[in-house]
Structure 1
Amino acid sequence: MDRAAERHHRLEPRGLGQSGHGAKIRRLLAKYDYPPDLEDAAVELVLQQAQQYALAA
């Protein structure tokens, strides 16, 4: 497996509960009083952006 494929494999979405990143994002959203009803979409957006950023690096 080449380096790009390895990086992509590591960044495969594993779900919010498994990665631990979702919980950190949720804590930050709560800290800055983000509306709870928009939280799920915001977490998903942040995770997608982080994955895209990692693949571009």
Structure 2
Amino acid sequence: MRYFWTLFWTFLLVQMLGYVGSAMTDTHYSIGNISIIAVVVTILIFIVSAVIPNSPATEE
């Protein structure tokens, strides 16, 4: 479920960002291209969350 909701919210937010960005730059909005970018961003989020350690930092 965690992966689904991450993909869902990333898809919505990236679509919104793509729509607003295309409106501001006066370019064509393409849902297909923005969807590919949303999937790539979701994969990057999963990679970053796997790399960041879960344990608290130790004091030296």
Q: TM-score of the superposition, structure 2-length normalised?
A: 0.52
Q: Is the 8 A contact 2:6 2:42 kept in 1?
A: yes
Q: Figure out how many residues of one structure are paired with residues of the other and give that number.
A: 47
| Selected match of 2:7 from 2, 8, 12 | 12
Q: Percent same amino acid at aligned positions?
A: 4
The answer for unaligned runs of 5 or more in structure 1 is none
Q: Secondary structure at the match of 2:8?
A: coil
Could you say which structure has the larger radius of gyration? Answer: 2
Structure 1 stretches of at least 4 aligned residues deviating more than 4 Å after TM superposition: none
The answer for unaligned runs of 5 or more in structure 2 is 49-60
Superposition CA RMSD, Å: 2.8
Q: TM-score of the superposition, structure 1-length normalised?
A: 0.54
